[in-house]
Amino acid sequence: MPNPSPLRAAALTVSAVLLAATLAGCGSGDDDSQDEDLTAQKLSWEDCPEPSESEGGGNAPSPLPDGDTWQCATLKAPLDWDDPDGDTIGLALIRAESSGAKDERIGSLIFNFGGPGGSGVTTLPAFGQDYTRLRTRYDLVSFDPRGVGRSDGVECEDNEQLDEYFQQDGTPDDAAERDTLLANTKNFNAACEDNSGKILPHVRTTDAARDMDLMRQVLGDDELHYFGISYGTELGGVYAHLFPEKVGRAVFDAVVDPTQNPEQGSLGQARGFQRALDNFAEDCTTKVEDCPIGDTAQDVKDRIAKLLKDLDSKPIPGIFPRELTQTAATSGIAQALYSQDFWEFLTQGLQQAYDGDGQDLMLLADAMNGRNQDGEYSNIVAANVSINCADDKPRYTVDDVRARLPEFRAASPVFGDYLAWGMVGCTDWAVAGAADHPDVSAPGSAPILVVGNTGDPATPYEGTRKMVEALGPGVGVELTYKGQGHGSYDSGSKCVRQAVDGYLLEGEVPPSGKVCT
């Protein structure tokens, strides 16, 4: 969902990496043509370097608990899968080798943590401890998809330009503000074409799915064992459609609705984030003694709405020299709704903002937008826009947005305008979109465990059943978690973890329709 601050820019785990950095490597382009069999290439695994700026920066991953190190390599893949003997690109991979007995090893378990645009090379080691049990029988593997991080990452505007871009008004109230938003969006899109025009036609989800099948073969697996989160569920569904006979044990967590076009997806997110905000307000006023941001749930929401309205005309100091604008505050609030663990930061940020200090809400917004404390941006937003615009066929106009604003506002007084205006993000994109929505039908595939969270803001729970139905009879196995936040496996639910681990480690398929609390 292209937007001055896209809510779909990060899965929970991707944005949590950035949030932890603010609140508290391995690939390159290759223009050579090739005539060798890429499935026979040998990967050269070495200790991982520090993440690049495009991956978010920071330190090289720490050693694993048992002392082993994270290893990185570069996979060579065709730039254009329609011309597999033409130019190639390098895809950055990371792995932790299996800690268990060799005769118990199943293969590699490939992770995609979402976005689109999130760097798997930085995210997997940040949360590797959560997958310790899975590592007993799998090599844990992730990657920067094409256009992301070190995998020929898309470049658009520079850090200074992005600071200005994210300060703009993403919910225009008059013709002048609307013209500014459209001009800034057009300039951003033009910068992507100027700086990364060669790769823009080749970052579709179908391209990434073909990359994963090449990865499977090079890693030596007969089947793809896969753990997809958020957008990673869409990528996994597209893979299953293209290669149903190659699907091994697969889990989709925080499920994207594959039947929706971009407008429907944005409207669903408006409802999802509003529902999460409702739950946050209810939680504060019923479970927190003397909730500091409101006397009732409605009072909490009314005060948030008033804050955003006031910021629209009068921003407050944020992180010098930047101010907290209405758009930045909306991004920060949305970021905090990705996990119930972040709600305390949202309460704190709102308290500060009511006192005229926008620093914490801006830190949350920076995490959403991929900005670190040094003022450097990862390429998560550039990649997010590029992949979404290459995937999504519809191109929306100002008249389209105007016509749909009442429905978006009814879905969410806080996020409705913001998400509706985000629909114009692909209007001036250089590459035509592929389809209205992805095809994930996968007759003949092995069972895929599809896990939905009833309180998920970014990928609303309703998409879980839609994914199960779209995969086809006998493929999707539905598992429901009655909880909060984006995703289920890392929610703390023993029930969810036991079901997922039981399938991935032992091949035990839970009954479809199982509910966890």
Residue 47 annotated in active site: no
Q: Rounded to whole angstroms, how far apart are CA atoms 266 and 7?
A: 9
CA-based nearest residue to 454, from 477, 476, 478, 485: 485
Structure tokens at 475: 């493929």
Residue 225 annotated in active site: no
Torsion angles phi and psi, residue 181, rounded to 5: -60, -45
Total count of residues recorded for the chain: 517
Strands (E), 325-470: 448-453
Q: Rounded to whole angstroms, how far apart are CA atoms 236 and 470?
A: 13
Per the DSSP assignment, residues forming a β-bridge with 139 are: 108
Q: Which of 169, 253, 391, 456 is catalytic?
A: 456
- Which residue is it, tokens 């893979």? 239
**Residue 191 near residue 199 (C-beta atoms within 8 A):** no
CA-based nearest residue to 39, from 77, 73, 74: 77
Q: Which of 108, 230, 339, 445 is catalytic?
A: 230
Residue 456 annotated in active site: yes
State the burial class of residue 36 (Cβ atoms within 10 Å of its Cβ: 0-12, 13-18, 19+).
Answer: exposed
Structure tokens at 161: 């330009």
Q: Which of 5, 486, 490, 493 is catalytic?
A: 486
CA-based nearest residue to 325, from 367, 374, 361, 371: 361
Catalytic residues: 230, 456, 486
